[in-house]
Every structure is written in C-alpha cells, then in structure tokens.
C-alpha cells in the first residue's frame, strides 16, 4: 500500500464541491447585495485583515461569502478560496485537508500537524510572494465545527496580503465573542451584520419535521446527529428499512450526492437538531455508532466522544491496532488515525489534574504517533507495523532509547514494587542493546538509580559488557567509567588494570583524567602510586585529576608541582589540569598559578576568574589580578568571590556599578555567569532588574536559570516563568522543556498545559527521539509526569513504553 496522498481526499473534495455549487448559484436579495458591497470595501482596507459576517440562522451568510469569492476570482488582485464547514467538513482533519488542497497545490501528503504548521506559518503568516495575487479565505459557518476545531493556531497572525472572512450565526455580541476563539485581533476586524430572511417554501425545517412520519423523523434525527454524509446502506442499517420511504415529505431538506445523504444546508440541520429531544438525539447517536466499525464509526467516533466530553478511558479504543487497521483501509490512511491520536492526547491532558490514568493514555497516544511517523518515513514500509500487509525488514525499535526512558521514569519513582517492575523493564531493554558501549552505559545508569548490592550487580554486568569491546583503548576507557558503580575495592582493582593497559600501549595514560569524575575516593587513593610512576605530562594530568577528587593538601601540592614542571604554553590539557587544582590551592601556589596563566593565551582569564576567589578566601584581595581582567571577567571573578566575603556588600556594589554601565544584552549574557553565586545569595530580583528593558523571551530564560540557583525564591520565579513559557512554547517547545526540572513548583493547570505542549512535540518526532534524546523526549519529561500524576502516572507511562514497543517492534 503506497503512502496516502491527501491533497484532498475524495469525501473532502466532494463536500467542497457540493457546498460551492449550493451557495454560489443563488441570487442575492438587496440586503445581501449590500453586505457583499460592504465586504468589497473591507477587501480594500489594508489594516483590517479579518472580517466576521454574522446574522440570525435563516440568513444566507455562506451564500454572500461564496459570491464574494466568485467576484474576487474574476479579478486578478486576489486568489480567493471558499472554505465551507458543513455536513462532512466539521472536523479539523478535514478542514486542514481542504485548506491544503486550496493553498498548497502540488503537495502530496504529510501528517496533519505538519500541514497545519505549513498553512499557518508559510501561507498565512508570511502570505503570498509579490509575484502572486493576495489571498482571501472565506470560511463559512464556523459554529458547525465547535468545539472540534482549534482555530487560533491558524489565524492568530496573518501576513499583510492575507484576508480572512468568517461567517457565524448570531447578533453583534455573539460575533464579538467569536473573535478570541478564532484568533482574530478585535482592533483589526470588521463586523458586518446580515438580516434574517424567511425559510424558502417548502423548506421550513420546523414545519416539515412536525408533519413528518416516524421513518422520516428518524432519518432527520440520524442526519442531524451525524458528523458526515451517510451512505445509503448505513441509513438502511440504522433505520432497519429502505431509505425511499424515509424520504417522503422531507426531500427539500435533504441532498443526495453519489449515494450519500446529508442536510442541504447547515441552518436546516441545526434547526432540526434543536427540536429533537435529548432521548431522540442519544438514540440517533447510538444507532450511528453501532454501524459497522470500519464505516461511519471509524471516521467519526472520536468527534462524538469529544462532543460528549467523554472521560479519557472512552478514547482509549482509538489508540489500538484495530483502529489503525480500519483507517489504513480508507482513503485517508494513517493520516486519519494520526488526527484521532492528536485529539485523544489533548483530551487526556485536559483531564490530567483530576487523575493519573490520563497520563498513561496521553503518553501512549504520543508514542504511537511517533511510531507511525517512523514507519511512514521508512523506505521499505507498506504500512505501519501491526497492519497487513507489512514488512519487518527494518525494525523501528531502539532498545537503548527505550531503556533510557524507562530508567528515567523509574528513577523518579519512590522505592517499591512498581518502581522495581519499571526498572526491570529497563534492564530487559538494556540487555538487548547490540552496541557494547551503549549497553554498558545504560546498565551503569541503572546501577546508579538502584544503588546498594543490586546496583553493584548492574555495575558488574556493565563491566563484563565493557570487557568484550574489541578496541583495547576503548575497553580501558569504559572500564574506568565503570569504577564509580563498583564496590570500592573492586573499583580500585579495575581502575589500576585499566591504567596499566593504557600505560602499556593501549592509549595515552593521561586520558585517565577524563574519567576521574566517576572515581570514588577509594579509587583515587588506589591509583595515586601508579599515577606517580607515569612519565612526564601524563603524570601531571592524572595526579591533578586525582588530587581534585581527594582534596588532600599534600596531594594537591605534589600535583601542582608536577603540573608546573610539565607546563606547556597553550596546551589545553595542561590548562585543564591546572584548573582542576585551583579550588584547592594554598595562597603561594595560587599566586604561582596566576603567574602561569598568561601562557594560556585567551584561556588565561578563565583561570584567573577561578584563582581570584581562591585567593580572596585566604585573605589576599588579589586587586592586581582583578585590574588585569576585562570588565566582564572582573564581574565574574567578584561574583565567584561572594561566598568567601565577610562583607559581601562592597563586592555587590562594585558589580552593580559595572553592570549598569553595560548594555542590557551584555548584562543578560553576564547574568548566566554570575547567577549561580548571586542567586544563591538571594539576589535574583536585582539580577532581573538589570535586564528589565529586554523582552519576554530573555526574561523567561533568566527566570528559569535563576530558579535553579535561588532555592528560597525558586517557587515564585518558576510561577513567573511558566506563563511566558506556555505562551512562547507553542512554536518553541524547548522553552517549556527548560522549566521541566522545576515542575514540582508548577500549579496543576499550568503543569497540564506544559505536558500538552511537550507531548505534542514528542508525538511529532520519530519514536527513537520521542523516547530519549537531547530534544523534547519522554526521558526528560519524567519530573513533569511525576509532579502531575505521581508514581502511578510514571508507572503507567513506563507500561506504555513497553506496550507500544511490542505493537511497533
């Protein structure tokens, strides 16, 4: 089965053609002609991109809009497009497909989210290029899609050569209430009223419904409750009788097209719907949803659940292999399924503050969509896995990413059987990672999370994995990494073995310094004698690294002497070795280190910025070194000196004076350098005052950064940052992601909104990146899920990782 092409699926194109033919052929009366003329004047207003044509139900708003489109199509100034919302164009999926067919001619498919993005950003926000006519969109009867369509994402910003007309039912107040729902700027919107007109005889729905027999009334109830045209065989099944008798007396209300039936106009449908009692409406919907599941229910069950504000568990049936298989047999293919997933996910997120079950469903929908994205991207695919025909030649599984996501979810849980089960799933995925280094790394992560004897077991398993590496240097490096998870005696023995391997020719023994951050104190102690026996520069590098772990004054002096003997100008390895010792140097050695700093060229200031606080801590004000620095380096050095100052006021005054001389953007950059020290001192508000002239994006980054370093004010700073992140995060979800480590401070509603934005990003990716990675991924969302749904939500999310991997192996 080839990838689906959705320029405009046949039902969408048919619905557009029917609506256009019905609306554009009617003759306008004088009031309608006056409205058309007013809209013509609006077209010429450069500062009014939006217009609302409104009026009571019998007014022919769509007819006037169609005539406006026709008039503009006859000229050359505007490319005018008619976008009707009607009997089978009421869902966002179908409207996006229709807009695609009108705006992106020649484009042959793509996920609904991508189509929506292209329409919003490339066609509406930017607008046509100068060599093309301006764009007019006439969207009729928007109330028909309420609450199934989210409009502001499309229309909240339009380019200078774009006009959008919408028609709505109601008076002036009702029309104004639609402005924020559509994303229209009230100051740039023109409102046009349209008077009522009588129903055309014999087309008054109330009269026809009152006179209709049982079968015609039942048919009208079905059509009024349906979200799309019904096939004749579906009507026959629902009615339990042929359609011919059911049409008697109601023909003026019903239009038959290609063997399908629907109301001739939206106003008639709503008129009948309002006259049905609740029982009749519910009966009609039950009949519709009891039709064969591969027909009407496949396409529209989600819309009915959404309209009824059904609980999240009712939507779970849409995130199944069976539902995907039904969609794959239809013209829309997986695109219809993905559109359902998007709404399932959003519905689940809406209910998150009230229950943890919704978290698992939201994660499931996101991971399934990411899996479908992966399948759709594959060159060898016939259909997503789980659907026949299919191929499994290229598995989409990524055991490493699965294991990382599961480990992160388990790490965020409290100790207990549920956590143990999640970490057991992580271990199972880790053991299936084919790459030796990756497998060992994940097992070490599990060792760190589990701790105790069980942690040692994972670390030993990681070490055994690392020992199978073919490259001797890589094997030695990986063994050094493993030492941190082993019991001290075992770790020391492994570290000495790895160092001996490097010393005997497997690689540069000085590279041990790169792995010292993993060493517990016992390992550093055990390696010291071996390090002292190393030759020249390698000895200096390793001793400096070990002394940085031990912090012992005698070891620090020995390491510093070795570095002094082997110092090489501009050698970054030696620079790094010296920097490791800076926090432990006594005043004499610190002064000697300062004398060495100029030999490192552009990196000299970095060393001095660390040496000055060390000297000040020991009573040396280091004013000569401060004066030798640039102003920005001096500010950083003073900030790092704050924890050692008996009277921090003078230091703060010097920094404040210097910063006030700087430009706001320069202050913004320095804020991230001095923030850890000034934030810890509770000076976050003063730092934020430095960047007051800058915009929301700068303030958001600063608030999130300071909240990490100012524990006393973290809740308040986070609450100030979150609304900015949510507003900016629709287009840039990383802005929300950066606040996730602070999720424990989020209010419940803000946390749910944040998860919604981030799961949208997860769902839009391929599955490996959706599980774990540097961008928005499930691995990085663990603190947010924990804050919203607790351990039960984390366990449910982990269960979905395993189940979706079984569905899409």
200-224: pLDDT as tens digits: 888 899 999 999 999 999 999 999 9
DSSP state of 8: S
* Confidence at residue 73, expressed as pLDDT on a 0 to 100 scale: 92
DSSP state of 713: G
Going by their DSSP bridges, the two strands 134-140 and 254-257 should be labelled as: unpaired
Residue that has been written with the tokens 């970095």 in this structure = 606
- Write out residues in the chain with pLDDT < 50, as ranges: 1-7, 380-393
Helix (H) or strand (E) holding 437: helix 436-450
Q: Which long-range contacts (CB under 8 A, 24 or more apart) does 493-500 make?
A: 493/526, 494/463, 495/519, 495/523, 495/526, 495/527, 496/526, 496/527, 496/530, 499/527, 499/530, 499/531, 499/542, 500/530
* Confidence at residue 81, expressed as pLDDT on a 0 to 100 scale: 93
Phi first, then psi: give them for residue 52, nearest 5 degrees: -120, 125
Say how far apart CA 728 and CA 754 lie, in whole Å: 11
* Confidence at residue 388, expressed as pLDDT on a 0 to 100 scale: 36
Helix (H) or strand (E) holding 500: helix 488-501
Phi first, then psi: give them for residue 140, nearest 5 degrees: -105, 145
Do the Cβ atoms of 447 and 485 come closer than 8 Å?
Answer: yes
Token pair for 82: 């008619």
Can you give the pTM of this predicted structure? 0.88
Q: Is the dihedral of CA 377, 804, 738, 735 positive or negative?
A: positive
Q: Could you read off the pLDDT of 64-102 as tens digits, one per residue?
A: 999 999 999 998 899 999 999 988 888 888 888 888 888
Residue 136, beta-bridge partner list:
80, 163
* Confidence at residue 386, expressed as pLDDT on a 0 to 100 scale: 40
Q: What share of the chain is helix, strand, coil (3-state, %, to 5)?
A: 70, 5, 25
Do the Cβ atoms of 544 and 577 come closer than 8 Å?
Answer: yes
Say how far apart CA 7 and CA 21 lie, in whole Å: 20
For residues 26-55, one letter each, b for 16 or more C-beta atoms within 10 angstroms of the residue's C-beta and e for the rest, the string is eeeeebbeebbebbeebbeeeebbbbbbbb
Q: In sequence order, which ranges of 75-213 are alpha helices (DSSP H)? A: 92-103, 112-117, 152-155, 172-182, 205-211
Helical packing angle, 399-411 and 436-450, nearest 10°: 10
* Confidence at residue 9, expressed as pLDDT on a 0 to 100 scale: 67
Do the Cβ atoms of 459 and 486 come closer than 8 Å?
Answer: yes
């Amino acid at each position: 089965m080839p990838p689906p092409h959705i320029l405009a699926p046949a039902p969408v194109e048919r619905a557009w053609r029917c609506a256009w033919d019905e609306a554009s052929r009617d003759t306008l009366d004088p009031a309608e002609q006056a409205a058309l003329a007013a809209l013509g004047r609006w077209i010429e207003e450069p500062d009014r991109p939006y217009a609302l044509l409104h009026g009571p139900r019998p007014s022919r708003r769509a007819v006037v809009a169609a005539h406006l489109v026709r008039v503009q199509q006859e000229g050359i100034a505007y490319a005018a497009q008619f976008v009707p919302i009607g009997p089978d164009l009421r869902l966002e999926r179908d409207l996006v497909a229709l807009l695609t067919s009108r705006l992106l001619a020649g484009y042959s498919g793509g996920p609904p989210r991508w189509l929506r993005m292209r329409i919003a950003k490339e066609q509406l926000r930017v607008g046509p290029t100068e060599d093309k006519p301006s764009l007019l969109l006439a969207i009729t009867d928007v109330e028909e899609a309420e609450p199934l369509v989210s409009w502001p994402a499309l229309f909240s910003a339009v380019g200078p050569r774009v006009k959008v007309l919408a028609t709505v039912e109601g008076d002036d107040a009702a029309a104004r209430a639609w402005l924020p729902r559509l994303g229209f700027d009230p100051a740039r919107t023109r409102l046009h009223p349209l008077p009522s007109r009588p129903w055309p005889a014999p087309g008054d729905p109330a009269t026809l419904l009152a006179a209709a027999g049982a079968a015609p009334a039942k048919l009208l109830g079905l059509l009024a409750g349906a979200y799309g045209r019904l096939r004749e065989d579906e009507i026959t099944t629902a009615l339990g009788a042929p359609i011919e008798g059911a049409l008697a007396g109601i023909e003026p209300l019903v239009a038959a097209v290609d063997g399908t039936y629907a109301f001739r106009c939206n106003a008639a449908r709503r008129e009948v719907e309002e006259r049905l009692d609740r029982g009749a409406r519910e009966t009609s919907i039950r009949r519709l949803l009891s039709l064969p599941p591969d027909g009407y229910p496949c396409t529209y069950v989600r819309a009915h659940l959404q309209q009824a504000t059904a609980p999240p568990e009712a939507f779970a049936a849409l995130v199944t292999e069976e539902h995907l298989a039904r969609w794959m047999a239809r013209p829309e293919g997986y695109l219809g399924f993905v559109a359902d997933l998007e709404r399932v996910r959003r519905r689940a997120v809406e209910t998150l503050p009230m229950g943890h079950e919704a978290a698992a469903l939201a994660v499931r929908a996101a991971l399934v969509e990411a899996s479908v994205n992966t399948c759709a991207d594959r060159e060898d695919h016939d259909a997503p896995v789980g659907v026949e025909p299919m191929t499994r030649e290229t598995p989409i599984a990524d055991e490493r990413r699965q294991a990382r996501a599961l480990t992160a979810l388990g790490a965020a849980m409290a100790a207990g059987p549920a956590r143990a089960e999640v970490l057991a799933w992580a271990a199972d995925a880790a053991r299936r990672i084919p790459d030796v280094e990756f497998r060992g790394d994940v097992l070490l992560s599990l060792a760190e999370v589990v701790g105790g004897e069980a942690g040692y077991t994972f670390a030993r398993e990681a070490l055994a994995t690392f020992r199978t590496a073919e490259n001797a240097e890589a094997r030695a490096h990986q063994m050094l990494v493993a030492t941190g998870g082993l019991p001290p005696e075992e770790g020391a023995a492994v570290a000495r073995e790895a160092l001996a391997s490097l010393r005997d020719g497997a690689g540069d023994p000085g590279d041990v310094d790169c792995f010292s951050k993993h060493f517990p104190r016992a390992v550093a102690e055990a390696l010291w004698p071996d390090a002292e026996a190393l030759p020249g520069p390698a000895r200096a590098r390793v001793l400096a690294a070990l002394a940085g772990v031990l912090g012992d004054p005698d070891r620090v002096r020995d390491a510093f002497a070795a570095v002094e003997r082997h110092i090489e100008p501009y050698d970054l390895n030696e620079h790094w070795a010296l920097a490791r010792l800076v926090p432990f140097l006594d005043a004499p050695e610190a002064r000697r280190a300062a004398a060495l700093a100029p030999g490192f060229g552009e990196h000299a200031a970095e060393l001095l910025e660390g040496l000055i606080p060390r000297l000040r801590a020991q009573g040396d004000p280091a004013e000569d070194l401060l004066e030798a620095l640039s102003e920005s380096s001096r500010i950083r050095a003073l900030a790092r000196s704050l924890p050692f100052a008996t009277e921090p006021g003078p230091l703060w005054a010097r920094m404040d004076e210097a910063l006030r001389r700087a430009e706001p953007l320069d202050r913004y950059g320095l804020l991230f350098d001095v923030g850890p020290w000034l934030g810890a001192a509770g000076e976050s508000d003063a730092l934020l005052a430095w960047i007051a002239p800058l915009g929301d994006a700068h303030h958001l980054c600063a608030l999130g950064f300071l909240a990490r370093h100012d524990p006393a004010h973290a809740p308040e700073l986070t609450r100030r940052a979150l609304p900015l992140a949510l507003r900016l995060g629709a287009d840039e979800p990383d802005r929300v992601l950066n606040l996730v480590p602070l999720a424990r401070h989020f209010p419940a509603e803000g946390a749910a909104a944040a998860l919604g934005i981030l799961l949208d990003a997860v769902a839009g990716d391929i599955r490996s990146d959706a599980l774990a990675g540097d961008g928005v991924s499930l691995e990085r969302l663990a603190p947010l899920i924990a804050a919203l749904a607790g351990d039960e939500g984390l366990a449910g999310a982990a269960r979905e990782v395993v189940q979706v991997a079984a569905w899409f192996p």
